[in-house]
Amino acid sequence: MTSQLFTPVQIGKRTLANRVTVAPMCQYSAVDGAMGNWHLMHLGSLAISGASMLVMEATGVTPEGRITPYCPGLYSDANEAAMRRVVDFVRSISPVMLGVQLAHAGRKGSSQR
């Protein structure tokens, strides 16, 4: 049996060049839920790794549901604009498929500094 890892796979209407996915890794580097230059460089470097899919780190759906005060969020227009900047950059340098790990820490959330 040969490995399927580096063979194309179809997901919906998209065909990915291989089956390698970069799993989400929390960076705890967002400011007020907004992704910044750290995310731009971190995700940009992963996007050119050769993997076909890249999943962005745990992203809070509410400010109080973040794991830490430094987790990114998608609960405001400012958060969305900051993530858009990162997504646009990644898409400008790589055909990698992007995903996001939506998260809510529940009552264990630690969003206060």
At 67-113, the pLDDT tens digits run 999 999 999 999 999 999 999 999 999 999 999 999 999 887 876 76
Alpha-carbon gap, residue 48 to 35, rounded angstroms: 19
Cα dihedral 61, 64, 67, 68 sign: positive
At 13-60, the pLDDT tens digits run 999 999 999 999 999 999 999 999 999 999 999 999 999 999 999 999
Domain ranges of the chain: 20-108
Neighbours of 66 (CB within 10 A): 26
CB 63 within 8 A of CB 113: no
Global pTM reads 0.91
At 56-77, the pLDDT tens digits run 999 999 999 999 999 999 999 9
